Amino acid sequence: MPNEPNGRDDFEVDPWHFAGSFLANMLSRSIPDEPSHAAIPWTPFEGSLSGAKVALLSTAGISMKDDTPFDMDYERKHPTRGDSSFRRLRADATADQIEANHLHIDTGYIERDLNVALPLDRLRELAAEGHVGSLAETHYSIMGFQGADSSQLENESAPAIAEIMKSEEVDLALLAPV
Amino acid sequence: MGLVARKIEEAGIPTVTLNMIWVYQRLVGMPRVAAIEHPFGRPFGDVDDVTRQREVLTAALALAGSASQPGAVEHLPFQWHEDPKATRWHPAEPSPIIAMMQARRAKKAAQEEG
């Protein structure tokens, strides 16, 4: 059904459902059959959602129109690299106040309704109804395509984002790749 | 993105990552993954689909409390309203790396023919 969970307990998401064979073959080559990552960090979520201050992060290359946009020319000149910086987004940002720059998706949907990738309106509604404590003052975007080198994203942007979240006493971060 | 989740979690803030290509979990190791079968670019739902956006947001946030161990993956039971072949998510032009690979493939094919 279009807008209903399918109700199957054994449902497993097909990660390539929308990818097409070329992209699926290309991306799946980099993914091992068994876990190959280092130990996973873990911070227990304590308390309840109704008391939690929540921050959102999107990988859609979203910037406020009064801020510097993500640099797409860099990637056009260097196809195996991507802009590794991040942008702060205001909690009251709406689609007409942002732009989205990401060369791997159609960003038009996000520029029509920001909530498809960064659901600030929905989060605000949940907070107003008491299901969530509050919205962080700052939300975030990176540009998801990093190509051959993600070290600057990992070692510069990510710690800087975490520092701002800590300074705003964020209790929970929801990250959404596009 | 998974790397960013790890850094935020290491800094002492719990994270949930809503992810279409959730199998990246095996490569990256994210603390909590909510897997979603939505098209690229619209992880929470379609334009103006307030109901779906809210359901996905609520389900992803709930994983913060329900996940009991590092690396937990929950498959959110949502289906997209369009067939994959009818779903438009691609950019107007191929991304630079895809264009580069397609050009290489075409060159190789031309060499093999020639």
Q: What is the ipTM of this complex?
A: 0.95
Does residue A136 belong to the interface with chain B, where contact is any CB pair within 8 Å?
Answer: no
Residue A139, pLDDT > 60, answer yes
- Alpha carbon distance A13, B75 (integer Å): 6
- The answer to whether B38 and B76 are in contact (CB under 8 A) is no
Identify the pLDDT of residue A148. 85
- The answer to whether A167 and B10 are in contact (CB under 8 A) is no
The candidate with the shortest Cα–Cα distance to A146, out of B2, B94, B91, B16, is B2
Among A9, A33, A45, most B C-beta atoms within 10 A, so best to mutate, is: A45
Nearest-CA distance B19 → chain A (Å): 6
Supply the DSSP string of A115-161, one letter for each residue.
Answer: GGTS-HHHHHHHHHTTSS-EE-SEEEEEBS--BT--HHIIIIIHHHH
**Dihedral in degrees, nearest 10, Cα atoms A160, A161, A162, A165:** 120
- Alpha carbon distance A47, B46 (integer Å): 31
Identify the pLDDT of residue A45. 98
Supply the DSSP string of A50-94, one letter for each residue.
Answer: GG-EEEEEESB-EEETTSPPP-HHHHHHSTTB----EEEEETT--
Nearest-by-CA chain B residue for A43: B14
Q: Which of A1, A31, A75 sits opposite B96 (nearest CB)?
A: A75
Burial class (CB in 10 A: 0-12, 13-18, 19+), A69: middle
Identify the pLDDT of residue A3. 43
Does residue A38 belong to the interface with chain B, where contact is any CB pair within 8 Å?
Answer: yes
pLDDT tens figures, A52-62: 999 999 999 99
What is the pLDDT confidence band of residue A1, given thresholds at 50, 70 and 90?
Answer: very low
Does residue A28 belong to the interface with chain B, where contact is any CB pair within 8 Å?
Answer: yes
Give B21's DSSP letter: S
Nearest-by-CA chain A residue for B72: A40
B47 vs A8: CB contact, 8 Å cut-off? no
Nearest-CA distance B59 → chain A (Å): 11
Nearest-CA distance B114 → chain A (Å): 24
Residue A74, pLDDT > 80, answer yes
Beta strands in chain B (DSSP E): 15-19, 32-35, 72-75
Give the angle A12-A56-A124 at the CA atoms, nearest 5°: 105
| 3-state SS assignment for residue A19 | coil
Identify the pLDDT of residue A10. 84
B92 vs A175: CB contact, 8 Å cut-off? no
- The answer to whether A17 and B84 are in contact (CB under 8 A) is yes
Length of chain B: 114
Q: Could you tell me how far CA A136 lies from the centroid of its own chain?
A: 15
Burial class (CB in 10 A: 0-12, 13-18, 19+), A174: buried
Residue B95, pLDDT > 80, answer yes
Identify the pLDDT of residue B86. 95
Does residue A68 belong to the interface with chain B, where contact is any CB pair within 8 Å?
Answer: no
Q: Which of B12, B77, B95 sits opposite A43 (nearest CB)?
A: B12
Does residue A160 belong to the interface with chain B, where contact is any CB pair within 8 Å?
Answer: no
Nearest-by-CA chain B residue for A124: B54
